[in-house]
A and B are shown apart, each in its own frame.
Chain A
Amino acid sequence: MIAEAGLAALWLAAGLAALQLVLMVTALRSNVDVGHTMRSIAVVQGALTLIAFAMLLQVFAATDLSVALVFENSHSAKPFIYKVAGAWGNHEGSMLMWVTILAAAGACLAIFSRRTSARTLVAALGAQAALALGFYAFLLIASNPFARLNPPAAEGQGLNPLLQDPGLAFHPPTLYFGYVGLSVAFSLAVGALLTNEVDSRLAQAMRPWILAAWIMLTLGITAGSYWAYYELGWGGWWFWDPVENASLMPWLAATALLHSINVLAARGALKAWTMMLAVIAFSMSMVGTFLVRSGVLTSVHAFAIDPERGTFLLALLALYVGAAFVLFAFRGATLKEGAPFELVSRETGLVINNLLLSVILGIVFVGTLYPLFVEAVSGEKLSVGAPYFNAVAGPLALILAVLVGIGPLLAWRRERRPVFKALSVPALLGVTALVISFIVAPGIGILPRSGLVVASYLAAASILPLIGRNPLRAPVATWGMVLAHFGIAVALTGMAMNAAFTEERLAVARTGDRLSVGPWLVEFAGVTPTAGKNWTAVEGELRATRGQGLVTLKPQTRYYSNPPTETNEAAIETFWNGQLYTVVGKADGEGGWQLRLWWKPFVTLIWAGGALIALGGALALIGRLLRLRRRRSRSREAEWRMERYA
Chain B
Amino acid sequence: MKPKNQRLVLVGAAMFAILVAVLLAMWGLRERASYFYTPADIAAGKAVQGRSMRLGGMVERGSIFRQPDGVTIRFVLTDGKAETPVVYRGIVPDLFREGSGAVAEGRLQNGAFTADTILAKHDERYMPPELGNLSAEHKAGKTLER
* A and B together in one complex: yes
A367–B3 contact, CB under 8 A? Answer: no
From residue 61 to 102 of chain B, which have CB atoms closer than 8 A to chain A? 66, 69-71, 89-92, 94-95
- A438 CB within 8 Å of chain B: no
Most chain A Cβ neighbours within 10 Å, of B2, B29, B127, B130: B29
Complex CA gap A568/B96 in Å reads: 14
Question: B92-132 interface mask toward A, CB cutoff 8 Å, 1 = contact, 0 = none?
Answer: 10110000000000000000000000000011111101101
Q: How far is the CB of A260 from chain B (nearest CB, A)?
A: 11
Interface size on B, residues (CB 8 A): 47
B21–A358 contact, CB under 8 A? Answer: yes
Complex CA gap A381/B130 in Å reads: 7
**Which partner residue on chain B sits nearest A276 by CB separation?**
B14
Known: A366-B21, A388-B33, A596-B91. A301 touches B132 (CB 8 A): yes
A388–B1 contact, CB under 8 A? Answer: no
Known: A362-B22, A563-B123. A594 touches B70 (CB 8 A): yes
Q: Is the interface of B mostly helix, strand, loop or mixed?
A: mixed
A586–B133 contact, CB under 8 A? Answer: no
B132–A586 contact, CB under 8 A? Answer: no
**Which partner residue on chain B sits nearest A386 by CB separation?**
B32
A367–B95 contact, CB under 8 A? Answer: no
B71–A594 contact, CB under 8 A? Answer: yes
From residue 5 to 59 of chain B, which have CB atoms closer than 8 A to chain A? 6-7, 10, 13-14, 17-18, 20-22, 24-29, 32-36, 52, 54
- B4 CB within 8 Å of chain A: yes
Residues of A contacting B66 in the complex (Cβ-Cβ under 8 angstroms): 588
Residues of A contacting B22 in the complex (Cβ-Cβ under 8 angstroms): 362, 366
A387–B133 contact, CB under 8 A? Answer: no
Which interface class (under 10, 10 to 19, 20 to 34, 35 or more) fits A?
35 or more
**Which partner residue on chain B sits nearest A509 by CB separation?**
B70
Known: A508-B70, A565-B94. A382 touches B3 (CB 8 A): no
Picked from B10, B89, B129, the residue with its CB within 8 Å of the CB of A351 is B10
**Which partner residue on chain A sits nearest B7 by CB separation?**
A337
Picked from A564, A565, A588, the residue with its CB within 8 Å of the CB of B70 is A588
Q: How far is the CB of B78 from chain A (nearest CB, A)?
A: 18
Picked from A270, A371, A391, A585, the residue with its CB within 8 Å of the CB of B32 is A391
Residues of A contacting B69 in the complex (Cβ-Cβ under 8 angstroms): 507-508
Complex CA gap A567/B26 in Å reads: 38
Residues of A contacting B124 in the complex (Cβ-Cβ under 8 angstroms): 563-565
**Which partner residue on chain B sits nearest A390 by CB separation?**
B32
Known: A273-B10, A583-B91. A367 touches B29 (CB 8 A): yes
From residue 124 to 164 of chain A, which have CB atoms closer than 8 A to chain B? 160-162
From residue 486 to 515 of chain A, which have CB atoms closer than 8 A to chain B? 506-508
B32–A388 contact, CB under 8 A? Answer: yes
- A355 CB within 8 Å of chain B: yes
Known: A508-B71, A563-B124, A583-B91. A362 touches B2 (CB 8 A): no
Residues of B contacting A568 in the complex (Cβ-Cβ under 8 angstroms): 91, 94
Complex CA gap A384/B24 in Å reads: 14
**Which partner residue on chain A sits nearest B6 by CB separation?**
A340
Residues of B contacting A518 in the complex (Cβ-Cβ under 8 angstroms): none
A384–B32 contact, CB under 8 A? Answer: yes
Residues of B contacting A639 in the complex (Cβ-Cβ under 8 angstroms): none
Complex CA gap A506/B72 in Å reads: 10
B3–A337 contact, CB under 8 A? Answer: yes
Given contacts A387-B32, A568-B94, 20 further A-B contacts (CB under 8 A): A160-B125, A160-B126, A337-B6, A338-B3, A340-B2, A362-B17, A362-B22, A367-B25, A381-B130, A382-B33, A388-B28, A388-B33, A391-B28, A391-B32, A392-B28, A507-B70, A507-B71, A565-B124, A583-B91, A594-B91
Q: List 12 A-B contacts (CB under 8 A).
A: A273-B14, A351-B10, A351-B13, A358-B17, A358-B21, A367-B25, A382-B33, A387-B32, A387-B34, A388-B33, A567-B94, A594-B91
